[in-house]
Amino acid sequence: HKSAAKTVDEINRDRLFHLRRACESTNNGGKYTIESSFYIHVKNESLLYCLVFKSGTTTWFYNINRWAGISEDTILDHKTDNFMLARMKYPWENPRVLLTSMKNTYSFIVVRDPFERLISAYEERLLGQLHPYFTNLSHQIYTRYHDDGNLFGIPSFQDFARYVVDQFRNEKPSDLHWRPINDLCTPCLARYDSIIKMETFARDVEHLANRTNLHGKIKPVQMNHSRRDSVDTLIEKYFSQLTKQQFDDLYDIYRIDFELFQYSSDKYSQFVKETT
């Protein structure tokens, strides 16, 4: 098996090379200007991070805000908006400045299998309902697809998938927790030194630490509530609710993410209902 012999450095180079090629074949993911809202330039550590919600943001916010001198209690308080907190110390850069920063800074993105990210967002935001906004959204989604007179209900994953597709079709902005990576970070217009994947997170973060002056400075943190079921169980449970058409519509929204970061939708499509 050849890939076993690859170093983390080689794997990272492969990911970057693949990204460039996939960007060429997708016309830069259909983007023309860099979306700079979600890049955080940590000047004192010479680091530039594009955050993809539901992809290791807890760890990165924890470290970035800790380096800024913010107390651990504040960072780990579930009421804290860590993105806003980081923004106070590391202000937004306009696209032109950002592109210059990228040339002189170690820049990276953390990505995740698009549908696993979707499952995670559904479980944590819509089922977890830790935040009034998402409790309200859950009920809205439920009542939109169920005409049973109930004003309150928990949307199924199928309801959620339909909602994501409908919002996309009606050109409504999608929630940051499930917005495609291509829309959050416009990766085709960026220059990255490192693509960290959630699937190999610890190893990739260590690689980044060795390449920067951050060795010993990055503390891992686990804040997300542990799952009751394994990912494989959830994939079957949720994707078997979708019709072929619903699956295709959903895939279409995340297709570019799948292509840019070498993910495959096969492990999901095998569970989709064959009948229409």
Please tell me the predicted confidence (pLDDT) of residue 195: 98
The per-residue DSSP string of 58-121 comes to HHHHHHHHHHTT--HHHHH-TT--HHHHHHHHS----HHHHHHHHHHSEEEEEE--HHHHHHHH
HSE at residue 245, side-chain half, CA atoms within 13 A, is 3
Please tell me the predicted confidence (pLDDT) of residue 226: 57
Residue count of the chain: 276
- Alpha carbon distances (Å) from 185 to 7, 32, 168, 249: 27, 12, 18, 22
Please tell me the predicted confidence (pLDDT) of residue 111: 98
Q: Token match 């550590």: residue?
A: 45
Q: Provide φ and ψ at 216, rounded to 5°.
A: 80, 0
| pTM value > 0.85 | yes
Residues of the chain with pLDDT under 50: none
What is the separation of C-alpha 136 from the centre of its chain, rounded to a whole number of angstroms?
A: 23
Question: How many distinct helices (H) and strands (E) make up the chain?
Answer: 13, 4
Please tell me the predicted confidence (pLDDT) of residue 213: 85
Residue type, 274: E
Please tell me the predicted confidence (pLDDT) of residue 260: 98
Separation between Cα atoms, residue 142 and residue 89, nearest integer Å: 39
Please tell me the predicted confidence (pLDDT) of residue 145: 95
Separation between Cα atoms, residue 194 and residue 192, nearest integer Å: 5
Please tell me the predicted confidence (pLDDT) of residue 223: 61
**For residue 39, what are its two tokens?**
């890049």
Separation between Cα atoms, residue 134 and residue 178, nearest integer Å: 13
Please tell me the predicted confidence (pLDDT) of residue 227: 61
Please tell me the predicted confidence (pLDDT) of residue 128: 84
